[in-house]
Amino acid sequence: MDTVSPLTPVIVVSGATGGMGSAVVEELARSDATVALLGRDAARLERTRAEVDARTGGSGRLVAYETDINSTASVDATITALLAELGRVDGLVHTAGDGPLAPLDETTDEMWQTTFDAKLMGAVRLTRALSGPLAEAGGGSVVLVSGVFRKDPDPLFPVNSAVNAALAAFAKAVSKDLGRRGVRVNVLDPGAVRTPLWDEIAKAIGDRTGATAEEVSAQVAAQTPLGTLAAPADVARLAAFLLSPAARHVAGAAITLDGGASAGL
């Protein structure tokens, strides 16, 4: 077992090859953390690991694990392998899972099931598998990346709206249990974040409204009090804060990162 120094945090990041996930990996690597990248595509995982390693000059330690968070067996096997290799876990950032742009009449059972299984049940499987190791390591932090539709549901995104609300309820419930064992659980709610996924969403909205993807992005930015979309690095820095000792008394919270755009309280 090649364990890491007690002074070096070990953080698991799901959805590590996505726009927000890879930004989280990079932010943590720059702080010299050991980061376990989880994803279903081994080639994309290795590419992300190599790209982040190159951008950060080899800061931190990046270890990739091919994992299907839709499968309890796969998640449990990954955590077992990770603990055997690294010795402990200090945190989790769950960024995996996204839902479709589809008003209710256009949704299918498969859309609902797929989104619930990856985003909500993925969080359940990972948090459940890691709760013991986190507590044994002296406590830690779980950051579940959800979205502003949790508190400000959108008719074009009923699937995401429902899943995000469920994810926040899950986090609030388990934060009371795990908090007594030293494990903090919080939700991070981004608004529009300029990632490849956002570009696809903007194009899909534009196809419905007769606008280009760039025009949609400009409209969303103009409706945001701060006048811009979030960058993946904005999400990553907030996630890193929630993982850190500086947030030691933040638990059971849902923190919005949307430039003031959402109307929900």
Q: What is the pLDDT of residues 118-135, one digit of tens each?
A: 999 999 999 999 999 999
Q: Where are the alpha helices (DSSP H) in the chain?
A: 19-30, 42-55, 72-86, 109-115, 121-136, 158-179, 196-209, 213-222, 232-243
What six digits make up the tokens of 158? 């009923």
Residue among 54, 5, 1 at smallest CA distance from 25: 54
For residues 94 and 220, state if they share a domain: no
217-247: per-residue pLDDT in tens?
Answer: 999 999 999 999 999 999 999 999 999 999 9
- Tell me how far apart the alpha carbons of residues 93 and 239 are, in angstroms, rounded to a whole number: 7
Q: Is the pLDDT reported for residue 6 higher than 80?
A: no
For residues 76 and 183, state if they share a domain: yes
Q: Does residue 187 lie within any of the structural domains?
A: yes
Q: Which domain holds residue 224?
A: 192-229
Give the residue-averaged pLDDT of 79-88.
Answer: 97
For residues 137 and 199, state if they share a domain: no
For residue 59, what pLDDT is reported? 86
- Tell me how far apart the alpha carbons of residues 104 and 159 are, in angstroms, rounded to a whole number: 8
57-75: per-residue pLDDT in tens?
Answer: 988 899 999 999 999 999 9
For residues 152 and 214, state if they share a domain: no
**Pairing relation of β-strands 10-14 and 183-190?**
unpaired
For residues 142 and 97, state if they share a domain: yes
For residues 43 and 116, state if they share a domain: yes
pTM of the model: 0.95
CA terminus-to-terminus distance, the chain = 47
For residues 63 and 133, state if they share a domain: yes
For residues 215 and 98, state if they share a domain: no
Q: Does residue 251 lie within any of the structural domains?
A: yes
For residue 2, what pLDDT is reported? 63
For residue 1, what pLDDT is reported? 54
**Collapsing DSSP states into helix, strand and coil, what is residue 78?**
helix
Give the residue-averaged pLDDT of 204-208.
Answer: 96
∠ CA 222-223-224, nearest 5°, is 90
- Tell me how far apart the alpha carbons of residues 100 and 89 are, in angstroms, rounded to a whole number: 32
For residues 41 and 103, state if they share a domain: yes
**Residue 4 — very low, low, confident or very high, per pLDDT cuts 50/70/90?**
low
132-160: per-residue pLDDT in tens?
Answer: 999 999 999 999 999 999 999 999 999 99
Question: What mean pLDDT, rounded, does the chain reach?
Answer: 95
Q: Does residue 263 lie within any of the structural domains?
A: no
For residues 107 and 224, state if they share a domain: no
Q: Does residue 107 lie within any of the structural domains?
A: yes
**Residue 265 — very low, low, confident or very high, per pLDDT cuts 50/70/90?**
confident
Residue among 159, 157, 142 at smallest CA distance from 254: 142
The pLDDT > 90 percentage for the chain reads 93
For residue 211, what pLDDT is reported? 97
Q: Does residue 215 lie within any of the structural domains?
A: yes
Q: Does residue 5 lie within any of the structural domains?
A: no
Residue with tokens 């090649």: 2
**Residue 3 — very low, low, confident or very high, per pLDDT cuts 50/70/90?**
low
Give the residue-averaged pLDDT of 86-106.
Answer: 96
Residue 45: CATH number of its domain: 3.40.50.720
For residues 89 and 121, state if they share a domain: yes
Residue with tokens 């690294």: 86
7-35: per-residue pLDDT in tens?
Answer: 689 999 999 999 999 999 999 999 999 99
Q: How many domains in the chain?
A: 2
Q: Does residue 261 lie within any of the structural domains?
A: no
For residues 198 and 185, state if they share a domain: no
Q: Is the pLDDT reported for residue 5 higher than 70?
A: no
Q: Does residue 4 lie within any of the structural domains?
A: no
